[in-house]
Amino acid sequence: MKDRGILIVVSGFSGAGKGTITREIIQRSGKYALSISATTRAPREGEQEGVHYFYKTREEFERMIADNELLEYAVYQGNYYGTPKAYVLQQLAEGRDVILEIEVQGASKIKAQVPECVRIFVTPPTAEELKRRLMGRGTENQAQILGRMKRAVEEAPYMPLYDHILINDDLDKAIEAFERIVQSEHMKQTFIGEITDELIEIVKGE
Ligand code: 5GP
């Protein structure tokens, strides 16, 4: 039987580059599935239904919660965001590694649902660098940049919950580190499966 896939939970400060890392990894390797979230926030310019998000009304989202269709959900900036359960569980069962790019509250809940998931927090090497990247985007004004920095202060206490802190200084190096984490997690889970089966066989034969 094929090994189960690994659920990879990626969070990070806004401006840390988590979106770029996950996009690059998916394009370069082709072996990952990306979970598409449901949200009640309105689509931004250029975003598409079913590509970036599944856009829902509050009523639709609350029905998904009531019907237990979400693996996790959170309220972020006044909108609901959640991970549809069926797709993720199906991909994992088929042996594909699935990436969830979600914020810290959702990430802290996911472990209860999928205990063997691996959680990665992406950060720039320094706070100054984070500020520099936010300013460099050129899309935000001073107040928005300060708002994002303040949110980073609120998110920092969640960092110890993550299995790995991925410092995104250089994109290629960050991608290599990501791949190493996933590979090592596969080795761990394969080893656990194999030794458990062997132990059961030995005990049966005694
Ligand atoms: P944005 O509105 O900028 O697309 O996303 C805002 C935040 O919501 C980001 O930190 C993003 O990672 C997070 N997010 C996106 N989808 C989900 C989800 O399904 N669950 C949770 N908990 N957070 C999500």
Residue 201 lies in a domain: yes
Residue 1's pLDDT is 52
Distance between CA atoms of residues 97 and 139, nearest Å: 33
Each residue's pLDDT tens digit, 134-164: 998 877 889 999 999 999 999 999 999 999 9
Any domain includes 72: no
The whole domain housing 105 covers 7-35+96-205
pLDDT at 206: 84
Contact 25, 32 (CB under 8 A): yes
Q: What is the pLDDT of residues 19-64, one digit of tens each?
A: 999 999 999 988 899 999 999 999 999 999 999 999 999 999 999 9
> Taking CA 174 as the corner, what is the angle to CA 34 and CA 20, rounded to the nearest 5 degrees?
45
pLDDT for 170: 95
Contact between residue 16 and residue 32 where contact means Cβ atoms under 8 Å apart: no
The C-alpha atoms of residue 15 and residue 189 are separated, in whole angstroms, by: 32
Q: Is 100 contained in some domain?
A: yes
Say how many domains are in the chain.
Answer: 1
Q: In this structure, what CATH number is given to the domain that contains residue 11? A: 3.40.50.300
Question: Is 40 inside a domain boundary?
Answer: no
Residues framing ligand 1 (Cβ under 6 A): 37, 41, 72, 74, 76, 81-83, 101-103, 106
Is the Cβ–Cβ distance between 93 and 78 less than 8 Å? no
Mean pLDDT over residues 191-201, rounded? 95
Unique residue bearing structure tokens 């797709």 = 87
The answer as to whether 60 is a domain residue is no
- Protein residue with least CA distance to atom 10, ligand 1: 103
In a domain, 46, yes or no: no
In-domain check, residue 150 = yes
Task: Give the pLDDT band (50/70/90) at residue 2.
Answer: low
- 27 part of a folded domain: yes
DSSP result, 141-201: -HHHHHHHHHHHHHHGGGGGGSSEEEE-SSHHHHHHHHHHHHHHHHHHHHHHHHHHHHHHH
Q: pLDDT over 70 for what percent of the chain? A: 99
Instruction: Say how many Å lie between the CA of residue 81 and the centre of ligand 1.
Output: 6
**pTM for this structure?**
0.94
- Nearest ligand 1 atom, CA 74: 22
